[in-house]
Structure 1
Amino acid sequence: MKKKTICLAIASSFVAGGFAAGAHAQETFTEQLSNAVSEGSIKLDLRYRFENVDDDAFNKDANASTLRTRVTVQSGMVGAFSALAEFDNVSEIGSDNYNSTANGNTDRPVVADPKGTDINQAWLRYGQEDAYGAYGRQRIVHGNQRFIGGVAWRQNEQTYDGFRIFYKGDTGLTLDYAYVYNVNRIFGPDDSNAQPADLHGENHFARADYRFAEHHNITGYFYSLEVDEDRGYAPGKTVGNSSETYGVEYDGKFGPVTAKAAYARQSDAGDNRLDYDADYYMVEGGFSVVGINAKVGYEVLGSDNNVGFKTPYATLHMYQGWADKFLVTPDDGIEDIYLGVTGKLGPVKLGAFYHDFSAEDSSEDFGTEWNLVGTWPVNKQFSTQLKYANFSSDSERYSDVQKVWVTLQLKL
């Protein structure tokens, strides 16, 4: 009964638009409203995480015990219209012995999971899954999230306010364009002294994927970021991220062998006071045999005029090591040589990864990192994960750090 009441409230807000569009005109108002409720859904997602950070730059460890509670309400179709509302709450379980970027505990390492309640998504969509237009706060994930992602690893996900047009055809072509005027960052829901919760501005995300053969895809993209200046923060936090990026990438498979390659060029844009043109490139090869997957890769975020290639909207935790030492590209760029092996031991998924970091614009050695992970999907509703990162450096610029995560997740 509760489910029907909530879905009814959402459906009522846009059902009139369905009639205006002329879709399914033969149906009565009551029939369309009933369809929106009966085909709607309510989902609950609980994710508890304990995160320990031992950073040599601090005398105290960070120990973060947090719970993210997510409620997602989605309507059924009303003509060609549908809607979704998603609410997140991040709460601390026990003490707050970590720097959330908002709690003022600057004597401990950062664990960027501030407590609070926020609207994670709230959108109205016209069309189906393979072709639609949407307006509102929404999740936008492009490809491997190297440039545009959701940062779903953190408890407060990154989502985007704006318009989006998506098309996936039968010929292998996929087109995706979004105009975004606000980015809801992981540091929200409220601004802190360290980080703004939102980045306002005029952003254009355009991406075209083409599957030209089975298991072979090529992608072109253009990202124009014009971030408004917030005078409460240093330019590097806001307007300093304004840029234009053009790029292309390839993803293919030859039997048990996989191959990936990418190149992008980035320049300053808008009111950015920086002046630079930097390159990004990546090559990766992998193979699979008897359930074991291995890969080796080389990724470079370049530098120009003492400015490193910027990826402010990426899911950065997926790249350059889980210790998150390089969330902002160093001024002299960064090179990452990496190896990885994944497989299964019974029902448990295992992974081990190694990184060797150095400067792109000099010969400085930044350090090395080991990452280990084990994930046990107990059933469709409940999963557990143990994860470890160890970064070691002889450079004066970077401190040694170890991180441990224990995650429990329940989806209903």
Structure 2
Amino acid sequence: MRIILAAAVLAAPLAAASPAFAAPGDPIKVSDDLTIDPIIDGRLRWEHVDQDNALKNADAVTMRLRAGAEFKMHNLSLLAEAQGTLAIDNDYNAFSFPSPSRQRRPAYSVVADPENVDLNRLQLQYKTKTVAVTIGRQRINLDDQRWVGSVAWRQNEQTFDAVRGELNVGPVSFDGTYSISQHTVFGVDAGPRRAYDGEFILAGVGVKAGPVNIKGFAYVLDYQEAIVFANSSQTYGVRATTTLPLAGRAKLNLAGSYARQSNYASNPHHYSADYIAAEAGVAVANLSVLAGYEKLGADNGWAVQTPMATLHKFNGWADMFLTTPQTAAYAGLQDAYAGAAYKFTQVKALPGLNAAVTYHRFDSDTGGKHYGNEWDASLGFKVRQFAVLAKYAGYQAKDFSVSTRKFWLELDFAY
């Protein structure tokens, strides 16, 4: 019954869709010097969680709306944006950590989409073809978001109070950020977990060498709150990507990364561990297949952590490894995965119709544990400025956590 009701709720806006949002994304010209670009986007989503434990199944029907505007004059712009999330069906636990909030419902499985009304972004930017400087509360997505991202999958976005500078000169690029606060996805009722203060340096230097893009990076995180002292770390590494033509219309996509992470500042744990990632994919017309391996290494009972990442993009959509396992007996994570995706361009009634499936095998880095396996699948399409998505994640536990199944049905719109 919940599936039927959720499907009906998501289908209704499509049935009523009209050209009222003419020319989505076009700024409004106020004068020869000034334009205003309205920001309106929303997401209605049902998330269902079923776990093999004593917790009740979670059903979260939430609506997220962002609204604001960007004012531009020549190379200068001012952007202001607020966001709000409403729980229509709140049979879920919004907080996995202790909290006096009514949104912590420990009898249910966790869905980390708490109700929230908050300032999302407020930034001033100067931008030319070669230089960009952004000051204020802003969205930061670096590379594939493995180390720093906006966590766009969750209803409440992660943003940063920061100064960011970007420079592009020929084949060389520089991206440097100094941040004093990380605003999490947990919202206004999360107490000290609403935002983590500290001193965070995020730096990268890239170069394009023929068909290969190479970037060296350094992420130095010094958290000031005791609850996240263990996330203070220094990470130095390199990432390389390339796309190579094959026979006919085929292309080979390659990506690889290596980093070394160790404790820093207030982190009480002493460790130095490796991060390794490698991925290869072949795309032929509408079909793409890929295989990859990722290792978050461990040392001295502690493991590589990525507390600023868009974690849902990595290690399975069931989100079993948002924190890399770390115990005296076993620690770290190895993720071997393979998948395929297809774009159904011949289905004209559903523009952008696409499907994807991925398989993961999870093992520890130390201790010889086979954590479990996971299948992920998705199906999506667009109708004008609306996008519909259905997703499934099924984690089969072996030596870690419990078997978990998640299902999402989602409608997004943007102006």
Q: TM-score, normalised by structure 2?
A: 0.85
Distance 2:303 2:32 in 1: 52
Q: In structure 2, what is the equivalent of residue 327 of structure 1?
A: 322
Q: In structure 1, what is the equivalent of residue 49 of structure 2?
A: 53
Q: Which amino acid aligns with 2:317?
A: W
Question: Contact 2:171–2:207 at 8 Å: present in 1 too?
Answer: yes
Q: In structure 2, what is the equivalent of residue 149 of structure 1?
A: 149
**% of aligned pairs identical?**
34
- Measured against aligned partners, the alpha-carbon deviations of 1:19-39 in whole angstroms (never above 9, x if no partner) come to xxxxxxxxxxxxx994564x1
For residue 190 of structure 1, report the CA deviation from its aligned partner.
3.4
For residue 394 of structure 1, report the CA deviation from its aligned partner.
2.3
Distance 1:294 1:66 in 2: 33
Q: In structure 2, what is the equivalent of residue 387 of structure 1?
A: 391
Report the 3-state secondary structure (helix = DSSP H, G, I; strand = E; otherwise coil) of the residue aligned with 2:230.
helix
Q: In structure 2, what is the equivalent of residue 16 of structure 1?
A: none
Question: Contact 2:30–2:36 at 8 Å: present in 1 too?
Answer: no
Matched, 1:365 2:360: no
Equivalent in 254, 258, 270 of residue 259 of structure 1: 254
Q: In structure 2, what is the equivalent of residue 63 of structure 1?
A: 59
Q: In structure 2, what is the equivalent of residue 140 of structure 1?
A: 140
Distance 1:153 1:130 in 2: 30
Q: Which amino acid aligns with 1:134?
A: T
Q: Which amino acid aligns with 1:245?
A: T
Question: Contact 1:36–1:75 at 8 Å: present in 2 too?
Answer: no
Distance 1:357 1:303 in 2: 15
Q: Which amino acid aligns with 1:99?
A: N
For residue 209 of structure 1, report the CA deviation from its aligned partner.
1.9
Equivalent in 280, 285, 288 of residue 280 of structure 2: 285
Question: Contact 2:213–2:242 at 8 Å: present in 1 too?
Answer: yes
Q: Which amino acid aligns with 1:364?
A: K
Q: Which amino acid aligns with 1:353?
A: T
Report the 3-state secondary structure (helix = DSSP H, G, I; strand = E; otherwise coil) of the residue aligned with 1:322.
coil
Question: Contact 1:391–1:401 at 8 Å: present in 2 too?
Answer: yes
Q: In structure 1, what is the equivalent of residue 196 of structure 2?
A: 199
**CA 1:129/1:114 → structure 2, altered by over 3 Å: closer, same or farther?**
farther
For residue 392 of structure 1, report the CA deviation from its aligned partner.
0.2
Q: In structure 2, what is the equivalent of residue 401 of structure 1?
A: 404
Question: Contact 1:53–1:62 at 8 Å: present in 2 too?
Answer: yes
Distance 1:33 1:288 in 2: 44
Distance 1:36 1:228 in 2: 43
**CA 1:258/1:391 → structure 2, altered by over 3 Å: closer, same or farther?**
same
**CA 1:372/1:33 → structure 2, altered by over 3 Å: closer, same or farther?**
closer
Equivalent in 90, 93, 107 of residue 96 of structure 1: 90
**CA 1:33/1:352 → structure 2, altered by over 3 Å: closer, same or farther?**
closer
Distance 1:33 1:60 in 2: 53
Question: Contact 1:35–1:76 at 8 Å: present in 2 too?
Answer: no
Structure 2: unaligned runs, 5 residues or longer: 1-28, 96-100, 246-250
Question: Contact 2:390–2:408 at 8 Å: present in 1 too?
Answer: yes
**CA 1:80/1:109 → structure 2, altered by over 3 Å: closer, same or farther?**
same
Distance 2:32 2:156 in 1: 32
Distance 1:139 1:129 in 2: 20
Q: In structure 2, what is the equivalent of residue 378 of structure 1?
A: 383
Q: In structure 2, what is the equivalent of residue 343 of structure 1?
A: 342
For residue 129 of structure 1, report the CA deviation from its aligned partner.
6.0
For residue 290 of structure 1, report the CA deviation from its aligned partner.
3.4
For residue 276 of structure 1, report the CA deviation from its aligned partner.
0.6
Equivalent in 238, 247, 258 of residue 237 of structure 2: 247
Report the 3-state secondary structure (helix = DSSP H, G, I; strand = E; otherwise coil) of the residue aligned with 1:75.
strand
Distance 1:299 1:209 in 2: 22
**CA 1:104/1:34 → structure 2, altered by over 3 Å: closer, same or farther?**
same
Distance 1:318 1:75 in 2: 32
Q: In structure 1, what is the equivalent of residue 14 of structure 2?
A: none
1:50-199 to 2 correspondences below 5 Å = 50-77=46-73, 79-93=74-88, 95-101=89-95, 102=101, 103-128=103-128, 130-169=130-169, 171-192=170-191, 196-199=193-196
Distance 1:241 1:176 in 2: 22
Report the 3-state secondary structure (helix = DSSP H, G, I; strand = E; otherwise coil) of the residue aligned with 1:317.
helix
Report the 3-state secondary structure (helix = DSSP H, G, I; strand = E; otherwise coil) of the residue aligned with 1:157.
coil
- Count matched residues: 366
Q: TM-score, normalised by structure 1?
A: 0.86
Matched, 1:211 2:208: yes
Matched, 1:318 2:318: no
Report the 3-state secondary structure (helix = DSSP H, G, I; strand = E; otherwise coil) of the residue aligned with 2:325.
coil
Q: Which amino acid aligns with 1:359?
A: S
Question: Contact 2:50–2:405 at 8 Å: present in 1 too?
Answer: yes
Report the 3-state secondary structure (helix = DSSP H, G, I; strand = E; otherwise coil) of the residue aligned with 2:312.
helix
For residue 130 of structure 1, report the CA deviation from its aligned partner.
4.3
Q: Which amino acid aligns with 2:409?
A: V
Question: Contact 2:240–2:256 at 8 Å: present in 1 too?
Answer: yes
- Measured against aligned partners, the alpha-carbon deviations of 1:153-182 in whole angstroms (never above 9, x if no partner) come to 00000000011101123x222211000000
Q: Which amino acid aligns with 2:364?
A: A
Q: Which amino acid aligns with 2:411?
A: L
Distance 1:144 1:373 in 2: 20
- Measured against aligned partners, the alpha-carbon deviations of 1:353-408 in whole angstroms (never above 9, x if no partner) come to 000000011211100000000110122x111000000000122x310000000110
